[in-house]
Structure 1
Amino acid sequence: MKPLLSLCFLLLASPGFADDAATDKRIPLWDGPAPTGDGKTDPANAWITVHQPEQTNGTAIVICPGGGYGGLVMGGEGHKIAAWLNQHGITGVVLEYRLPAGRHAVPLLDAQRAIRTVRARADQWKLNPDRIGIMGFSAGGHLASTAATHFDAGTTDAPNPIERVSCRPDFAILVYPVVTMGQHTHQGSKRNLLGQDPSPELVELYSNERQVSDNTPPVFIAHALDDKPVPIANSRQLYAALQQHDIPSKLLELPSGGHGLNGYKGPMWDAWQEQSLTWLAER
């Protein structure tokens, strides 16, 4: 599968292995110019903020806020999600990924780096390296589903120890996600990620319902039936592909709430939170 994103922490000496505590710290992901996937680099950096609970259960989730790949909803789909996860003993890692502006590989590279970083720091942060997941909302759900379908096992001889570990998430939780770049996509997300006139090959590559394999991790999906900006067909197509490959998965079809599930509150919002935690506990 094609590699995507990863996240790094602030280094004092060796990259990604500083001794400072990580709780609620905003840390740059890349130590040096960030790659763009085409042999070039970007002076801008991506960031992660690590929110650790008082008592961790060993699970961590990289959180990808939405925003149509043109912005980032860091509150309701980022730091507030981390605070909720902390209440259940889960470490929340909020990812401020770089916005692509047509550079399609950029968000995925950041997401993959984030997963690798959390896994590489598992001992320091009292985490189980086999319980590192990813979560995303709307376009952030597209990014999370991309990371769950495009990954690698790491590069064993990489100079940076972070790059030696796998960027495959152990599970994914997707909430009203953009999934496809095809018929039912969100056009703004597609344009911001792929540019004005993407090739059919690029559309195929980032239509994640078409990238599911037998190695795809378990996936929980929640989507409202009345979501107009991002039709539930996105989630249904992905769920069908997951089932075809016998991937443990669940699709929670919510009767109402629209896109954003009534502004991140109410019974539909509560339902996906409760059921995703139950599903995760069963894993």
Structure 2
Amino acid sequence: MKWITMLAALTITGSITAGNPINIKVWPNGPKENNGITKEETNISGGRIENCKVAEMYIYLPEKRLNTGAAVLICPGGGYALEAIQHEGHQFAEILRKKGIAGIVLKYRLPNGHYNIPLSDAQEAMKIIRSHASEWGIDPKKVGVSGFSAGGHLASTLGTHFDQQSRPNFMILFYPVISLTEMYTHQGSKINLLGDKFEDVNLIKYFSNDKQVSAQTPPTLLLLSDDDKSVPTVNSTLFYNQLKKYNIPASIYIFPSGGHGWGCNKSFKYYNEWQTLMFDWLSSQKLVP
């Protein structure tokens, strides 16, 4: 298994205009922990980042006339081995932006066995969003997190392991990995996250987010397909049941088909339906009109 390194600096390479994302490095002075990766690769045709060693954010701001004040930090999936940054990142940000929601794509560092690294990137990203809330037209009380597959694990980890500044106000999880328990988990995500500690019972419990739900866990929407062969649907139902145990507002939609990893692909049979359900749920939570 490879191990990963990290650099970062808070620099803006895009102008603050709708449709033109602001590009920010997450760590201005370099991160505290090095993940050992030395060479990052971008597969343009595949729309993915491999061996991610630099944490960055891409901020898509809505037009002022449409702005709802809401924002979503987006965590692409890829089994903690790569990041499907197009159809589970930038394309989702554009969908949100057109509805008046700031879509913020997080290119998080891959763990490479350094299990704290993705969460530290997500926590820092949330703090950056809130520190720039006024500048970006964001309501700091309407900042949520979303994630796809292993990115859903990262998003739900942020939603169950947080401090006051990094707590998301809501979560939108697409076919997420939730549990690291042997019979439920996606094995690749587990091994890539925990590395040589993949059998550590304390870490397995700590990162099994259904076991970490509390009364402070934010309202959650879950979207997935019944025929998902990669991440068992029980990941989402376990999480939903725990949320309801604490009377946390939550909704779950399980489409009859679609498999795993559909993201923002227009070929997904329920492409229009999931968006309608998502925006209706956001409205029901008074996050958007």
Could you tell me the TM-score, scaled by structure 1's length? 0.85
Is structure 2 residue 69 aligned with structure 1 residue 85? Answer: no
Distance (whole Å) between structure 2 residues aligned to residue 195 and residue 69 of structure 1: 11
Partner amino acid for 2:144? G
Residue 214 to residue 263, structure 1, CA distance change in 2 (3 Å):
closer
Q: Which AA in structure 2 matches 1:29? A: V
Does residue 272 (structure 1) correspond to residue 274 (structure 2)? The answer is yes
Matches within 5 A, 1:45-84: 45-55=54-64, 56-84=67-95
Equivalent-residue separation in structure 2 for 1:77 and 1:259 (angstroms): 12
- Check the 8 A contact 1:35/1:41 in 2, yes or no: no
Alpha-carbon distance in 1 for matches of 2:263, 2:81? 22
The amino acid across from 2:186 in the alignment is H
- How far off its partner does 1:263 sit? 7.2
User: Is contact 1:180–1:209 with CA below 8 Å preserved after alignment?
Assistant: yes
The residue aligned with 1:156 is none
What does residue 232 of structure 1 align with? 233
CA distance in 2, matches of 1:51, 1:61: 10
How do residues 57-206 of structure 1 correspond to structure 2 at under 5 angstroms?
57-153=68-164, 166-182=165-181, 183-198=183-198, 199-206=200-207
Distance (Å, rounded) in 2 between the aligned partners of 1:209 and 1:41: 26
Q: Sequence identity, in percent?
A: 41
- Counterpart of 1:192, as a letter, is N
Partners of 2:209 and 2:100 lie apart in 1 by 30
Kindly state the Cα deviation for residue 108 of structure 1 after the two structures are TM-superposed. Answer: 0.3
Structure 2 gaps, min length 5: 1-7, 39-52
Higher relative contact order (CA 8 A, sep 6+): 1
Give a deviation string over 1:182-219, Cα, whole Å, max 9, x none.
12110000000011443100000000000000000000
Structure 2 SS opposite 1:104: coil
Output the aligned Cα RMSD: 2.1
Matches within 5 A, 1:199-214: 199-214=200-215
Question: How do residues 230-269 of structure 1 correspond to structure 2 at under 5 angstroms?
Answer: 230-261=231-262, 264-265=265-266, 266-269=268-271
3-state SS of the aligned residue for 2:80?
coil
CA contact 1:181–1:190 (8 Å) conserved in 2: yes
Answer whether contact 2:16 2:61 (CA < 8 A) is retained.
Answer: no
Q: In structure 2, the residue corresponding to 1:267 is in which secondary structure?
A: coil
Tell me, in whole angstroms, the C-alpha distance in 2 between the residues paired with 1:216 and 1:9.
31
- In structure 2, do the counterparts of structure 1 residues 233 and 227 end up closer, same or farther at CA, with 3 Å as the change threshold? same
CA distance, structure 2, for counterparts of residue 118 and residue 215 of structure 1: 20
Answer yes or no: is the 8 Å Cα contact 2:229–2:260 preserved in 1.
yes
Tell whether the 8 Å contact from 2:87 to 2:263 is kept in structure 1 after alignment. Answer: no
Distance 1:109 1:241 in 2: 24
Unaligned runs of at least 5 residues, structure 1 = 1-7, 13-17, 154-165
Q: Which amino acid aligns with 2:168?
A: P
Conserved? CA contact 2:91–2:264, under 8 Å: no
SS in 2 for 1:26: strand
Q: Distance in 2 between matches of 1:225 and 1:61?
A: 26
1:139-176: CA deviations, max 9, x gaps?
Answer: 000000000000002xxxxxxxxxxxx10000000001
Find the aligned partners of 2:144 and 2:263 in 1 and give their Cα distance: 26
3-state SS in 1 of match to 2:136: coil
Q: Deviations over 1:236-258 (max 9, x none)?
A: 00000000011100011111100
- Residues 34 and 45 of structure 1 are in contact (CA less than 8 Å); yes or no, is this contact kept in structure 2? no
In 1, Cα distance between equivalents of 2:30 and 2:263: 39
What SS class does the counterpart of residue 58 from structure 2 fall into? strand
Number of matched pairs:
256
TM-score by length of 2: 0.84
